[in-house]
Structure 1
Amino acid sequence: CVKQKHLSRGSYRQSEQACWLLTEIPKPSAHLATGPQQEQRTFYEFRTYSIRPDQNSAFLKLTNEKIHLRTAHSQLIGCWTVEYGGLNKFFHIWQYVSDSYSQRAAVRAAVAQDPSWISEYISKALPLLTAQDNEVLYLVPWSRLKQGGVFELVTFQMRPGGPAVWGGAFQAAMSAHDAPGYGKLLGAFHSEFGLLNRVHALWWFESADHRAECRHRAHTDARVVAAVRNSVAHLDSQRNQLMFPCPFSPMK
C-alpha cells in the first residue's frame, strides 16, 4: 500500500512509480497516493476540443494529415472522437516525463516556434473549434493498458478531501468491476491541475454492445453493488462518454 502523508489542500500527488504499460495485472493493493510526486514524474495532459458541428469532418481530416507535425515534439498516447455523452468532441492524451514541468514547457515553446505546425495546422484548425480544455493528471499505480475495441471515459467529481479520504473506496469500486471482467480498466488518473478531486477512469470494451452486457451483469453482482455504494458516499457527480479511436490514434 502507498504510505500516506499529510499535504495541504489541493496538493495530492502520487508517491509510487507509475508504469504506463504493465505486462501483468497488478494486485489492487495501492490506494490513490497523497505523498510526493511519483518517482518517474510522469504526468499526462488530457485535452478536449469542441468542434463546430458543421466542421467535424474537416477537422478530423486535417488532424489526420498533420498530426505528425505535433507528435514530432512529444508523445501522443491516443485520440478519440466522442460517440455518446458529448457530440463533436475530440479527446486526446499526451505523456510527459521530466524532473518537473520543464519538458512540457519546452515542448510548448518549440511547438509555438514551429512554422510548419503553425501554418499547416493551427492556423487552419482553430477556426474549426469552439472551445479547448485541458487537465494535468497522474496515472494511479494500479492501472494498466489494453488496445482494440471501444473506449469509455468515466469522469468522477469526488467531494473535497482528496484521495486520503476517498481513495480506498474509489479503488475498491474500480476493482470490483475490473477483476471479474466487467470491462477492462486501462487507466485511472487523478487531477493535478483543473478541477481538483476529479478522477478519470478509461475503460476498454470489445464493442458498445459488449459494454452494455458488462454493465447489466455488474448491476446484478452484490459485491459490485456494495463497493459502488461505499464509493458513491464520496461522489458529487459522474459523466460517461463512449469514444471511438481515431484512425491515426496510437492507441486503438
Structure 2
Amino acid sequence: MLVLRSGLTRALAARTLAPQVCSSFATGPRQYDGTFYEFRTYCLKPSTMNEFMENLKKNIHLRTAHSELVGFWSVEFGGRMNKLFHIWQYDNFAHRTEVRKALAKDKEWQEQFIIPNWVLVDKQELDITYLVPWCKLEKPPKEGVYELATFQMKPGGPALWGDPFKRAVNAHVNLGYSKLVGVFHTEYGALNRGTVLW
C-alpha cells in the first residue's frame, strides 16, 4: 500500500487574504487543452480503510482498463485520516467524458466495486489540474513514502508565480532531498493552488 504524507507549506507560497475561489465546471478555452490530471480524494468512514483497500486491490484492474492511473495513496500524516488520494490522467475533457460514460455502463465495475464501497465513503473531492509548463510527470514507483505539498498562490497562475516557484522546487531537487514526481496547478476545483508531489 502506498503512503502519502500531506502538508501545507507557507514558506514558498504567496498568500492572499481573499476567500478561497472555486470553479466547478469547464466553460472557457481550457476545456479543449490536452492532457490533464484529475486529483480525486475519498474520505472514508472510520475503520473502513482495510475493507475499502482489499476491495480496491481485487478490482482496480476493472477501473484501469478505462483510463490511466498515475498513483493511489493513503494519507498517513497531516490533515484528516482515513483519506485516499488518487491521480487519473486524461488526454482531454472529451476523453474524460467517454471514460465516465463507459464506467457508468460497466456492470462488473459497478457491482464489484462501486456498490459495495460507496457506503464506506463519507466525502469525496475532485480537482482538475495541469502540470506547470516547466515540469514533466515522472511515474512514481509502486511503493514508497510520498509528500503532497499544497501551496495557496496569488491569482494569475504559473505565468505570475511560475519562475520563483520553479527556482524553489529546483533548489530542493538539486539538494537531493527527494525525487520530484510532478508540479501541478489547479484549473477546476479549489483555484490558485500549486501542488508538488515528491
User: Aligned letter for 1:54?
Assistant: S
Trace 1:4-19 onto structure 2 (pairs within 5 A).
Answer: none
Q: Does 1:198 align with 2:193?
A: yes
Q: Deviations over 1:33-88 (max 9, x none)?
A: xxx86x98111111000011121110111111111111111111110111101311
* Partner-residue secondary structure (3-state), 1:185: coil
2:107 corresponding residue in structure 1: 115
2:83 corresponding residue in structure 1: 89
Q: Percent identity?
A: 48
Q: Deviations over 1:119-172 (max 9, x none)?
A: 111111110010011111111232342525311000111122322221111111
1:106 corresponding residue in structure 2: 98
1:167 corresponding residue in structure 2: 162
Q: Does 1:45 align with 2:41?
A: no
1:187 corresponding residue in structure 2: 182
1:176 corresponding residue in structure 2: 171
Q: Does 1:67 align with 2:57?
A: no
Larger radius of gyration: 1
Cα distance change on mapping 1:72 and 1:144 into 2, 3 Å: closer
Q: Let me know the Cα RMSD of the aligned residues.
A: 2.2
Q: Does 1:134 align with 2:126?
A: yes
1:213 corresponding residue in structure 2: none
Distance 1:82 1:188 in 2: 19
Higher RCO (C-alpha 8 Å, min separation 6): 2
Task: Return 5+ residue gaps in structure 2 as ranges.
Answer: 1-21, 24-28
The number of residue pairs the alignment matches comes to: 168
Contact 1:46 1:92 in 2 (8 A): yes
Contact 1:143 1:185 in 2 (8 A): no
Distance 1:133 1:40 in 2: 22
* Partner-residue secondary structure (3-state), 2:177: coil
Cα distance change on mapping 1:81 and 1:153 into 2, 3 Å: same
After TM superposition, the score normalised by the length of structure 1 is 0.62
Q: Does 1:55 align with 2:43?
A: no
Cα distance change on mapping 1:150 and 1:75 into 2, 3 Å: same
After TM superposition, the score normalised by the length of structure 2 is 0.78
* Partner-residue secondary structure (3-state), 1:169: helix
* Partner-residue secondary structure (3-state), 1:136: strand
2:151 corresponding residue in structure 1: 156
Distance 1:175 1:75 in 2: 27
Task: Return 5+ residue gaps in structure 1 as ranges.
Answer: 1-9, 12-35, 204-252
